[in-house]
Structure 1
Amino acid sequence: MMGAGANVSDVLLLVLLCVLQGCQAVWLSLPASGTKCVSEEIQNNVVVLADYVVISDDHAHPIPTISAKVTSPYGNTLHNQQNVTHGQFAFTTTEGGNYLACFWVDGQKTGNAEISVNIDWKTGIAAKDWESVARKEKLEGVEFELRKLEGAVEAIHENLLYLKSREAEMRTVSEKTNARVAWFSIMSLGVCILVSIAQIWHLKRYFQKKKLI
């Protein structure tokens, strides 16, 4: 029993550490033409903070510039920068869904080497300024770590509620789709029966006119 309890504690600790370190470091290789995007599904009322920087694979000088655009699930532009080598965007989500960040190279890039973009994407608890929280609430040591764990637990609880609501939405959509498919099947069967009856009636009249029956 003690071994099982220890395993559960280890799992919970691992989950909490993952939430506290819940940031994503993404590398994108941009071609001379075209656009590359990254997306993340984020729930409503979540803080998002991201930094991006251009790294030229052939160490060209000056460093090629890029354009960056971030859009919400409903197509609203949250960040739009052009001719930059680095940048940052921060916002609080107002709608749940996939948030899209797209990057492309400005103008014509010389050489065959690709341009790499490093994106440090943080959401929720990972984007929180814990140093400001510690100064404001005068926390230090164990109290500060417990405050971070409390925030992580709240974030996990909110994520579970979000997943539960999404599961309910998907179940509703699935039930509606199944009902529509069932009605369509019934209608198709009814049409087939009516067509068969009409064909039989037409053939019967044809044979009667020809005095074959």
Structure 2
Amino acid sequence: MKLMNVLKLLVVATMAMTAAEAIWLELPSSGAKCVYEEIRNNVVVLVNYAVIVDNEPDKPKFIPDISLKVISPFGNKLHHEENVTRGKFGFTTTEPGYYMTCFFMNSQAPNGKSVHIGLDWKTGIAAKDWDSIARKEKIQDIELVLMKFQAWVQAIHEKIVYLEKREEEMSEVSERTNAAVAVFSGMSLSLCILAAATQIWYLKRFFRKKKLI
């Protein structure tokens, strides 16, 4: 029993470091409201959303509809919906980078009431349906906890590897930028020296013609 409690605590602590968050957005009357997250390649993303309006108790409940779209780092449209008030969708990333989800108002709320969106955004292991997995494979509680813990550890390891790779890429970009700046600085200094030497030569020639030197 103590082992089970310890394992559950480890899983909860690991889950706290993973991407599963609820977001509360206020939509503007015009334009779009977007959220984005940097996600590595081949990661499952599940999103649940619902439009929420501050209606008065004695007034009929009115929920304006919205449109939404999901855009990949390379500008590909992964998901698109129109005239909706709630729903859910999912996708698997095919390229690393920032994935953006934008919401648009289609109709106005009465009396200028604020319109919000409740957004439940889950990625990676947090998007798995562990209850269905346990029922399908007939896994006991302790086995399920161990499986969760192993999956979370693997996810954290992959995240660390991804961050290390990004750090290496950024270091390479920084080194190339520094090298380019050094070359440009050297060229600028050479041009300045050449311009100064040319000016001195021209002035000497001019003064000699005028027999001033």
TM-score (norm 1): 0.89
The equivalent residue for 2:140 is: 140
The equivalent residue for 1:27 is: 24
The equivalent residue for 2:36 is: 39
Q: Secondary structure at the match of 1:64?
A: coil
The whole-number CA distance in structure 1 between the counterparts of 2:200 and 2:189 is: 17
Pairwise CA distance, 1:61: 3.1
How many residues are paired up?
Answer: 203
Q: 1:65-104 residue pairs with structure 2 within 5 A?
A: 65-104=65-104
The equivalent residue for 1:16 is: 14
Pairwise CA distance, 1:113: 1.7
Pairwise CA distance, 1:111: 2.3
Answer yes or no: is the 8 Å Cα contact 1:19–1:152 preserved in 2.
no
Q: 1:168-179 residue pairs with structure 2 within 5 A?
A: 168-179=168-179
Q: Secondary structure at the match of 2:112?
A: coil
The equivalent residue for 1:193 is: 193
Report the RMSD for the aligned CA atoms in angstroms. Answer: 1.9
The equivalent residue for 1:5 is: none
Q: Secondary structure at the match of 1:120?
A: strand
The one-letter code sitting in structure 2 at the alignment partner of 1:146 is: L
Answer yes or no: is the 8 Å Cα contact 1:55–1:63 preserved in 2.
yes
The equivalent residue for 1:51 is: 48
Mark the runs of 5 or more structure 2 residues left unpaired by the alignment: 1-6
The one-letter code sitting in structure 2 at the alignment partner of 1:25 is: A
Pairwise CA distance, 1:54: 0.0
TM-score (norm 2): 0.89
The C-alpha deviation readout for 1:145-168, integer Å capped at 9, x for no partner, is 111101101101110111011111
- Pick closer, same or farther for the CA change 1:15–1:186 going to 2, 3 Å: farther
The C-alpha deviation readout for 1:28-64, integer Å capped at 9, x for no partner, is 1012111110000000000000011000123563310
The C-alpha deviation readout for 1:63-104, integer Å capped at 9, x for no partner, is 101111111000111111111101212011000000000011
- Pick closer, same or farther for the CA change 1:179–1:211 going to 2, 3 Å: same
Answer yes or no: is the 8 Å Cα contact 1:72–1:98 preserved in 2.
yes
The one-letter code sitting in structure 2 at the alignment partner of 1:37 is: C
The one-letter code sitting in structure 1 at the alignment partner of 2:189 is: L
The whole-number CA distance in structure 2 between the counterparts of 1:159 and 1:61 is: 44
Mark the runs of 5 or more structure 1 residues left unpaired by the alignment: 1-8
The C-alpha deviation readout for 1:163-188, integer Å capped at 9, x for no partner, is 01111110110010000001001001
The one-letter code sitting in structure 1 at the alignment partner of 2:46 is: L
The whole-number CA distance in structure 2 between the counterparts of 1:146 and 1:109 is: 48
The whole-number CA distance in structure 1 between the counterparts of 2:10 and 2:46 is: 26
Pairwise CA distance, 1:132: 2.2
Answer yes or no: is the 8 Å Cα contact 1:50–1:120 preserved in 2.
yes
The whole-number CA distance in structure 2 between the counterparts of 1:86 and 1:13 is: 31
Pairwise CA distance, 1:142: 1.0
